[in-house]
């Protein structure tokens, strides 16, 4: 939390109290230098859960961040769930102007986790790969990670759709193909942990659905769906 | 038995998405979980600002399925609480964290309660392919009724299973962990635990 946001938060709390608090201070009690009046009018438009949030650069708090993809299996009779366990994110965020934010994600495709049970090689002796995770990560018909070692998303346009919701459109680069993708995002709030001092932690959910064939991955359609649902829930920590 | 060509339909945006599930021709009888296509996760809110999702990686289920009258079906699930995947992003700490989560008395306390189980008591059909499955969930030694919202996703017949049907389902519910005596870290970790399953059941061999 910066001094500036503390000040904005303080004046905003006053503004809220002045609107409807039970112990409304009279206007004569309030210190009203012009600079604070300006801050108040700006902060008053913020949702309460955004008021104390620092405008700053944030980085993914990797111990509280989950990225999963789901595809339909067997012609859509069940959802097959895969997690990415190594990915990073950078977020530049101003609570007063969320549409000016920028977001990037970088995902290591070698980090897929399928939670395959048992001995993969026992049932797949002909596979070129040691595990199903490795097959999904490295096989040319799947994520082909040796040729394309990063999956990236770089935001290009952010639109607020509600007080705490919005869309984040950006360029997704998967298998060397770059296409625009729009994430539906919700802001979940602010936390502060003593071990992170004054640094803010903000949480988000995001989801989208892509067609993998648009990125050149067409294997096993329709037994495995072309549509891929992508889900994120996690936290971003204000940079030091 | 049905053919892929019959059930493969257009995909919608939310998965799984079999556009034309059918119960016609589906065998009634005992099905067992097809463990290579089965996912069971639980999600708690962390500090109220993000969802923390953990996979159970060792669980089994038996389904006695009545395709004519799905409400007559029965489901029994058994979960090994020591088999967790938190996807914690540091390999060494991941092992420690998952062991703590599995065995610490504040969490799943698996040394004392080595199995989490669910036994259905009542199945109600609420739509063509939807229903609720109420049963007794035994967790931390406490049994409480829990109701799952269930969707049937359809039938598949991969050639390597011969004539045996494979049927898919999704199921979800939300429990309050405090009702099972687990209240640790109440201010940080939500009481509500969202549980999600998606997976397939394979017709048992005669």
ipTM of the complex: 0.91
**Contact list, A53 vs chain B (CB under 8 Å):** none
CB spacing of B198 vs A116 below 8 angstroms: no
Structure tokens at A235: 């936290």
**Contact list, A86 vs chain B (CB under 8 Å):** 89
- The residue among B42, B50, B89 with the most chain A CBs within 10 A of its CB, best to mutate, is B50
- The residue among B19, B20, B49, B203 with the most chain A CBs within 10 A of its CB, best to mutate, is B49
Rounded distance between C-alpha atoms, residue A41 and residue A46, angstroms: 10
**Contact list, A213 vs chain B (CB under 8 Å):** none
CB spacing of B48 vs A79 below 8 angstroms: no
Whether residue A104 contacts residue A59, with contact meaning beta carbons closer than 8 Å, is answered with no
pLDDT digits 0-9 by tens, B44-73: 999 999 999 999 999 999 999 999 999 999
**Contact list, B100 vs chain A (CB under 8 Å):** none
Rounded distance between C-alpha atoms, residue B206 and residue B197, angstroms: 27
Whether residue A108 contacts residue A138, with contact meaning beta carbons closer than 8 Å, is answered with no
DSSP state for residue B111 in the 8-state scheme: T
CB spacing of A79 vs B39 below 8 angstroms: yes
User: Given the structure tokens 């009779």, which residue do they identify?
Assistant: A77
The torsion region of residue A222 among left (phi > 0), alpha (psi -120 to 50) and beta comes to alpha
Please tell me which of the candidates B8, B37, B49 has its beta carbon nearest to residue A203.
Answer: B49
What tens-digit pLDDT sequence spans chain A (240 residues)? 443 433 333 333 333 333 333 344 444 444 444 444 444 444 457 888 999 999 999 999 999 999 999 999 999 999 999 999 999 999 999 999 999 999 999 999 999 999 999 899 998 999 999 999 999 999 999 999 999 999 999 999 999 999 999 999 999 999 999 999 999 999 999 999 999 999 999 999 999 999 999 999 999 999 999 999 999 999 999 999
């Amino acid at each position: 939390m910066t001094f500036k946001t503390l000040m904005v938060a303080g004046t905003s709390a006053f503004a809220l109290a002045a609107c409807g608090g039970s112990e409304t201070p009279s206007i004569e009690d309030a210190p009203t230098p012009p600079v604070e009046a300006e801050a108040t009018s700006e902060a008053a438009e913020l949702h309460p859960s955004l008021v104390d949030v620092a405008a700053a650069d944030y980085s993914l708090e990797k111990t509280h961040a989950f990225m999963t993809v789901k595809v339909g299996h067997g012609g859509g009779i069940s959802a097959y769930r895969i997690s990415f366990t190594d990915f990073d994110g950078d977020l530049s965020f101003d609570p007063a102007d969320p549409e000016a934010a920028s977001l990037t994600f970088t995902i290591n495709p070698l980090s897929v986790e399928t939670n395959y049970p048992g001995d993969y090689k026992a049932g797949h002796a002909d596979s070129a790969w040691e595990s199903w995770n490795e097959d999904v990560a490295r096989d040319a018909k799947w994520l082909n990670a040796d040729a394309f070692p990063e999956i990236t998303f770089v935001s290009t346009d952010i639109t607020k759709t509600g007080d705490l919701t919005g869309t984040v459109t950006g360029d997704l680069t998967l298998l060397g193909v770059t296409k625009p993708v729009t994430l539906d995002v919700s802001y979940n709030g602010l936390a502060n942990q003593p071990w992170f001092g004054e640094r803010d932690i903000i949480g988000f959910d995001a989801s989208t659905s892509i067609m993998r064939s648009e990125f050149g991955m067409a294997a096993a359609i329709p037994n495995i769906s072309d549509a891929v649902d992508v889900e994120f829930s996690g936290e971003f920590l204000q940079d030091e | 038995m049905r053919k892929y060509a019959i059930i493969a339909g257009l995909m919608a945006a939310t998965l799984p998405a079999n556009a034309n599930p059918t119960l016609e021709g589906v065998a009634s009888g005992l099905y067992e979980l097809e463990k290579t296509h089965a996912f069971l996760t639980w999600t708690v809110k962390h500090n109220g600002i993000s969802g923390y999702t953990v996979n159970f990686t060792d669980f089994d289920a038996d389904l006695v399925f009545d395709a004519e009258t799905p409400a007559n079906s029965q489901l029994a699930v058994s979960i090994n609480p020591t088999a967790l995947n938190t996807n914690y992003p540091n390999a060494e700490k991941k092992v420690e964290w998952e062991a703590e989560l599995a065995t610490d008395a504040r969490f799943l306390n698996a040394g004392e309660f080595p199995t989490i189980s669910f036994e259905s008591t009542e199945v109600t059909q609420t739509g063509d392919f939807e229903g609720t499955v109420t049963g007794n969930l035994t967790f931390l030694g406490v049994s409480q009724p829990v109701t799952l919202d269930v969707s049937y996703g359809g039938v598949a017949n991969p050639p390597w299973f011969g004539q045996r049907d494979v049927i898919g389902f999704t199921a979800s519910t939300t429990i309050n962990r405090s009702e099972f005596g687990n209240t640790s870290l109440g201010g940080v970790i939500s009481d509500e635990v969202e549980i999600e399953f998606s997976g397939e059941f394979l017709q048992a061999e005669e």
